[in-house]
Amino acid sequence: MSYEPYGFTSSTGFTTLSFTGPYDPYARAPTPLRAGTLQNLHYEQVCVRNGMQRPHFFSWYRISLFSILGVICAISLAAPLMVTSAIKRFAYPVHHAELIQSAAHRYHVDPYLICAVIHTESGWDAGAHSKAGAVGLMQIMPATAQFLADGGQVSAREYPLTRLQQARENIEYGTAYLAYLQSQFSSRDEVIAAYNAGPTTVGSWKKKQDRGVFADVVEYVETKNYIIRVNQAYDAYKELYPDGIHD
């Protein structure tokens, strides 16, 4: 077995010592024998050649570097998801969340469905008007609102029909109408279709349904597309606001 001198140098901050003994690249520390300088230089060369332990400063440096790289990688992976979610929320916003939540609770209507209807009907434009005369966020017809007020579903004193285009009144009457349709039909698709085409028309379609899918008996192309669009918006709102809707 050969004996090689090796040791620390003062340039690394350690005491200048040299060691002599059998060279073992796997040994954790050599056995000190005598001091010197040339032997110390040889020891550093042996460390480099055989991957022996470096001062702790370099270990912490490597750990810090790898930690930083890990954080950068994690951010790089998460960033696209965060950006996608932000874009989707921009495409599917929520406004008047308190009004929606309050009306949804009062009439036992899914708030995600209310948001989906508003998104599809007006794109959250409170000033929207249709050629048929529908107004506001949920595009309520004045005659429909009058029907709900006459039937006692909505208090016209508390929610004046003259303010139908205002968000508070519009959401109240629109949600009450969804609740009324839910009492008439058994599925969400039927309720959505009735909101677009009217309950009488949907009732006539259902009479033609023979254990098939309701969409198969919908005769209006506009209503078929309306069902698809509202359901897409409904799914998007549930995905983007899993803990409940909020502004």
121 is catalytic: yes
Tokens standing for 159?
């929610």
Which residue type sits at 170?
A: N
Catalytic hit among 4, 44, 98, 121: 121
Rounded to 5°, angle at Cα 220 from 216 and 208? 45
Residues forming the active site: 121
